[in-house]
Chain A
Amino acid sequence: MRRLLDDSAHLVRPALVLLAALAIFLAVRSAIIPKAFGQYGHYRPGALDLVRNHPIAFAGQDTCVMCHDEQATARAAGKHAHVACEACHGPLAQHADDPSAHVPKLPDVADLCRRCHEKDAAKPAGFPQVATAEHSGGMACNSCHQPHNPHL
């Protein structure tokens, strides 16, 4: 038995090397593993805040109507009632935060109206669409249609 132990003593060495490596690994792991990992699931809970803290670009129409009730009333009476303000006017959260500092530029009417209302066979049949070149003969859409309440 003692002889066997003597002759296998060298096996202890690689075992010790492995155990030492394992111990170092476990120590390092507990030091650098992200805190609270696994609180909600297999991820860092800090990730939720990381995503939530992204800045907002679109204020949302509820914010616009707080100040611009004239346009809101006009819009509510017409076919564009459910078209958000920023759908045409672009992202305006910065303007909502500081109206005088960020003055929004009015969009180019022709491109804007055409995006939705240019005739396309794939659009639902009941949706108002025209072949704009023929329809207006080159005139700007807002020479006849008021964008907030476009129905004539």
Chain B
Amino acid sequence: MVPGVDGFMYPNEFELQWSVLIVLYPYITGLVAGAFILASLERVFNVDAVRPTYRLALLTALAFLLVAPLPLQLHLGHPERSFEMYLTPHTSSAMAMFGFVYLWYLTVVLLLEIWLEYRVEIVEMAQSSKGIKRLIYSALTLGSFNISPAARRVDEKVGYAVTVIGIPSAFLLHGYVGFIFGSVKANPWWSTPLMPVVFLFSAMVSGIAAVMVLYAVCMKLRRTPIDMRCLDTIARYLFYTFVIDFTLEMLDLIHRTYESDESFRSLDFMVHTRLWGSHVILQIFLGTLVPLVLLAVNQLWKYSEGARKAMYMTAGGLTLVGIFAMRWNVVIGGQLFSKSFLGYTTYKMDLVSREGLMPAILLMLLPFAIFLVLVKLLPPWQGGKAHEA
């Protein structure tokens, strides 16, 4: 009897192939996509109330995007061969588009938009600072010092266009990950056309929640009053997105239970045993229902500022944990049961190995370190000068 294995599994199925690092990757790109969508709310959909978080959302997206390829690299058997995806991408594989979509999104969408948004401050800093800072800012100007009102208007228009392109790009950046799972017919836990959509909406939920929490924390640390109109609006959009996300996930669950195909008995057993804590308690109850209630009551009744802040922060924090649990349940859950539907295995997560818990924690902390550097370099606190009227 193999330890950790119950029932029968094909002999090569005992070990999980995709570890916590593969849970981390969709979580991180989800945060990127979600943060960007929040930014686009202001830029494209003219939701002025959330403007205080516009630049913050862009920097959050960038900080996480820079870290996104790292869990993948650590996971590969041969990370030194990863460039092969650029040489000979296999067009039938969703995974092959990673390198291209990533670079597209990083350069043409995010970096360009940030550059256009911050150009005025960059030029001003390049002209006023000294020493190494002057060098950095001068490099960032890319050699152009034209910040006339006319140039700024051009920036505004182009930035608008970039954001408009950025929305489907963000959808692609994270949606393709959902397709990577959703198109695997061999795995009934993954295989559903709903998967890319569920991934996308849960990404938006996590990204919006992340920016909301980050905004409040930053304001607290800077001892600056929080713009409650902004926070209320973000919470409202978080609520709407969450309702859609929850509906989609419930649709998947109800559909599975109703159709009850061959895989259902095995998957149902798995959820009730091995995934009880992460799926039912963490993802559904604490990660979805509790935040939904906290957000919903604020749509129905008006509470004091203090109460609202507490509820939003609790909801945001629980959401972030819940969406991580959702990624965990998809990736790890999909490998805990046998494709023979006759057995189950356990995920033995190492602590310090290449794909262990420690690297995972470090990778989750790294974006915050990058974020601190970005915030120092390109302060998001003043409103966007480029596209102020």
Contact = CB atoms under 8 A, between A and B. Distances in A.
A9 interface: yes
Nearest to A17: B142
Going nearest first, the 7 A-B pairs with the smallest beta carbon separation are: A10-B144, A13-B142, A7-B150, A7-B151, A8-B154, A33-B87, A7-B154
Most chain B C-beta atoms within 10 Å of own C-beta, residue among A6, A8, A13, A32 = A8
21 contacts: A4-B154, A7-B146, A7-B150, A7-B154, A8-B154, A9-B146, A10-B119, A10-B142, A10-B146, A11-B158, A13-B143, A14-B111, A17-B142, A18-B108, A25-B86, A33-B87, A33-B88, A34-B88, A37-B88, A38-B88, A42-B88
A29 B150 CA distance: 40
A7 B88 contact: no
Interface of A: 3-4, 6-11, 13-14, 17-18, 21, 25, 29, 32-34, 37-38, 42
B18 interface: no
Nearest to B145: A10
B122 to A, nearest CB: 11
Main DSSP-derived SS at the B contact region: helix
A7 B148 contact: yes
A18 B107 contact: yes
Contacts of B108: 18
Nearest to A33: B87
Contacts of A3: 150
B88 A6 contact: no
Contacts of A33: 87-88
Most chain B C-beta atoms within 10 Å of own C-beta, residue among A6, A11, A37 = A11
A14 B87 contact: no
Given A7-B153, A9-B144, A33-B87, 14 more contacts: A3-B150, A4-B150, A4-B154, A8-B154, A10-B144, A10-B151, A11-B154, A11-B158, A13-B143, A14-B115, A18-B108, A29-B87, A34-B88, A38-B88
A14 to B, nearest CB: 6
B112 interface: yes
A85 to B, nearest CB: 28
Most chain A C-beta atoms within 10 Å of own C-beta, residue among B87, B119, B148, B153 = B87
B323 to A, nearest CB: 33
